[in-house]
Structure 1
Amino acid sequence: MEPETAERLLLSSLETPEHLIVLGRKYQLNSTNFPYYTDVAQFLWEYITEYGKAPNTELLLGEFPHFDVAPRQDFDHVAKVYADIHLTSQANTYFYTAQNLLSETPREAIPFLISRLQNLVHIEDQHQTVLDSRSTSERLEDYRSRRNGIGATNVFKTGVEPIDNFPVMLRRGQFVAILADTKVGKSWLALRIAAENYMAGRIVTIVSPELSLEELEMRSDVMMGRLMGYDLSYSALEIGQAGKQEETYEAFLKEWSGSNRKDWNVLNSLGTGSSVSVQDCATIARQTKADVLVVDGMPQLARPRDEKGWEGMEINARALKDIAIQQNCLVLTTQQLNREGAKDKGVPQAEHVAYSYGFNRELDLLLALGWDDISTVVRKIGVPFRRTGAPVTETFSISFDADRGDIGNQFVTEPTTFALDDFD
């Protein structure tokens, strides 16, 4: 099949966001990989991402009257055909460039060709492995590295003692949510998890569609100050309190800025003229090379148009999971309760997530946060949904003094159990 024909057939067969995910995840193809119909590809990517479906033929021809729309083909087949053609084209380009270099600088041409072909092989193989061909020593090393838990580069702690000690380990490629009612403190818990991993040397990116940039900065200062040994108060930062607090704050700022790391990135939507979208999250995660991406306020993310609330939520959840895989990072978001869950002041159950249970289908792990009768600076936390690993049937009481950033130390109380029906 001619490259132009394969490109036209594939573009004509795109229908859903899942098709775009397959092209990116399986074949490393995006809208820039269609040289004959670049504008058409860009339009289709943007339209399908925004509306959750492909435009009809009339709309597509209205935008591109010279594009010869083909009857829809079997997507899986035509995607594989085009991926093979694209891969061959890339290889031929490298061969052609190397051939020209050979006549001038052969010592540069050969390493050039080897490195480019190796990159192609790496792209093809980075999402697969043949387990029975890997050496025993290599797999045993992987096993032993997991024994060290957080020491592994793909494992993340939460900073919450009972969760880390269980242990519940978060990993790259996972999509994790914090479920809680309004004002319980899910945004603060997300920051606590982010700060824990920043202190472990990770790059953190926080996107908040609902908080102002000033609020994000002050909350970040309190949380990071606590972990760095500075006793800061959010309420004091709000009013610019003079005296001892100001001296402590100045010392903290000097130490933090003096690290020259530039690994704590915050973004909000105020002043942009539009709501933050999943595409915005993907872009900033890629630009900042985030190890941990926090999306604070899942319900506030822009949804594809013409989609019902629950359908748009599922599409966005699926896209965030894709970001976790594509960017090889941990994606952490915060989610509201539904009306039924809001009636109960305890730790929410998995079915209490707002906008239907479908959101949970994209999750790897759900942390649930609720009020605790012990004190106003104590919360109960649990794990009502965990895709893999032993069920966590208990809930735990933890310190939760958000004003001082003291979050995550365990209080010993009588355990509460989840119903086993809550687990998949």
Structure 2
Amino acid sequence: ARRVQSVVDAAVMAHGEEPRDLLDSLLTNLTSLQVLERRGVSITDGSSMERYEDYAKRKPKDNGVEGIPTGLSFFDAEYRLGWLPGELIGIVGRIFIGKTWLLLHFSLTAWLSGRRILLLSPEMPTEEAESRYDALYLGRNGVTIDATDLYRGFVPTDAMKVLAKRAAERQDWITLDSVEGKPFSIGEIPRLIRQYKPDLLAIDGMPLIGGSSKGQIWEVVKEVSYGLKSLAVANKIAIIITTQASRGAANPSRPPALHEIGYGDAFGQACDRILALSRKGRDPKSMTVTIQKFRKGQPKHGGIHLFFDPSRGRIWEHDNRDDSAGTGSTGDSGGDEHGGDGNDDLMSIP
């Protein structure tokens, strides 16, 4: 009780005239206090037999994936390790390269595997984020629609309505935006996790997450990075977050290196996996995902090459599908811009 009172007193002294800042500070510091008091304890040597039995139970059956499927063969097929509880995964790239689209693609893959998603969208309003979700979801089910059409209004086809009805039965994807233009803070994220209970927390924009105090941006990024990692571990969920590469990574055809992550080294140190994005040559419908860090495996510096036409719901590995325009299960059908009958199994993962 004495420690709680000291936290409250310090917060009131620092933020007494600013109710919102006071609340953010209390949430952050009291949550940290709670985590300190609730550390997981295990007798490591004494639990060896139980742990070995758990290893055997955990082994993926029939070449399956442990954790949440990623949609990338490097993780799902080669290592058979999807996004795992306790992991912080970073997506790094320069502006306008497609970080948000890839974040939504990973989230959709997780959702299609039956997981619950919480998307924090401090940069985009909910309407735009959900239009992107619709474009990707429809494309994954064989119905092509450009997200731009959705932004300006569009009369859905019967196939789209069928898919929308199937999706509505789930109620497992929650999107939150910054209604009043105030950024999310690291202090309120624990409450959101407890409230919505996601398997995967997706955050679009590290620089738009505020810290508990007003320091330099590298100090805030350090606090947020390690705070998110602690939340992933404490809540046994996976967290994926996008962030900017520094100006040193200005060449979009070269993937950002670890030292080119914006705002200091803390983000790279806190993450379990770092995916760096670059463009493959001058092709606007290509993307290379380089695995710069993989704590449970080895990096893949050669990269994973994607066909990348996200606004029309089409993202896949080059090796897995015909990447020519107008073909493939999510491509155009006989010149019909909105081709596909939408009768594919909702839960199938390409």
TM-score clears 0.5: yes
Q: Quick one: distance in 2 between partners of 1:132 and 1:341?
A: 46
Correspondence 1:160 to 2:72: yes
Q: Deviations over 1:346-369 (max 9, x none)?
A: 222111110012221111110111
Q: Quick one: distance in 1 between partners of 2:290 and 2:308?
A: 14
Partner in structure 1 of residue 136 of structure 2 = 223
Partner in structure 1 of residue 95 of structure 2 = 182
Flag the 1:163–1:141 CA change in 2: closer, same or farther, 3 A: closer
Secondary structure of 1:279's counterpart equals coil
Quick check: 2:183–2:210 contact (8 Å CA) kept in 1? yes
Quick check: 1:294–1:333 contact (8 Å CA) kept in 2? yes
Q: Deviations over 1:221-261 (max 9, x none)?
A: 1222233443332122123234xx5333322212211x2x2
Partner in structure 1 of residue 338 of structure 2 = none
Q: 1:287 aligns with which of 183, 192, 195?
A: 195
Normalized against structure 2, the TM-score is what?
0.77
Structural RMSD (CA): 3.1
Partner in structure 2 of residue 358 of structure 1 = 266
Q: Deviations over 1:180-218 (max 9, x none)?
A: 111111111111111111111111000011001110110
Shift in Å, 1:43: 5.1
Q: Quick one: distance in 1 between partners of 2:226 and 2:234?
A: 12
Secondary structure of 2:215's counterpart equals coil
Secondary structure of 1:219's counterpart equals helix
Correspondence 1:201 to 2:126: no
Q: How is 1:96-245 mapped onto 2 (pairs within 5 angstroms)?
A: 127-134=40-47, 136=49, 139-143=52-56, 145-148=58-61, 151-152=65-66, 155-167=67-79, 169-242=82-155
Q: Quick one: distance in 2 between partners of 1:227 and 1:151?
A: 20
Q: Quick one: distance in 2 between partners of 1:279 and 1:305?
A: 10
The structure where helix makes up a greater share of residues is: 1
Quick check: 2:94–2:252 contact (8 Å CA) kept in 1? no
Secondary structure of 1:214's counterpart equals helix
Q: Max radius of gyration: which structure?
A: 1
Q: Quick one: distance in 2 between partners of 1:286 and 1:204?
A: 13
Correspondence 1:316 to 2:224: yes
Q: Quick one: distance in 2 between partners of 1:219 and 1:161?
A: 24
Q: Quick one: distance in 1 between partners of 2:8 and 2:25?
A: 17
Flag the 1:140–1:187 CA change in 2: closer, same or farther, 3 A: same
Q: How many equivalent residue pairs?
A: 307
Shift in Å, 1:374: 6.3
The letter of the residue matching 1:202 is: R
Partner in structure 2 of residue 88 of structure 1 = none
Q: Quick one: distance in 1 between partners of 2:270 and 2:13?
A: 24
Q: Deviations over 1:133-179 (max 9, x none)?
A: 33647514424523447554xx1221123443332532101111100
By relative contact order (CA 8 Å, sep 6+), the higher-ranking structure is: 2
Q: 2:307 aligns with which of 399, 402, 412?
A: 399
Secondary structure of 1:294's counterpart equals strand
Quick check: 1:372–1:380 contact (8 Å CA) kept in 2? yes
Identity %: 22
Residue ranges of structure 2 left out of the alignment (5+ in a row)? 15-20, 321-350
Q: Quick one: distance in 2 between partners of 1:337 and 1:179?
A: 6
Partner in structure 1 of residue 160 of structure 2 = 249
Secondary structure of 2:133's counterpart equals helix
Residue ranges of structure 1 left out of the alignment (5+ in a row)? 1-6, 12-30, 55-78, 84-122, 413-424
Flag the 1:280–1:246 CA change in 2: closer, same or farther, 3 A: farther
Correspondence 1:278 to 2:278: no
Normalized against structure 1, the TM-score is what?
0.65
Q: Quick one: distance in 1 between partners of 2:107 and 2:316?
A: 13
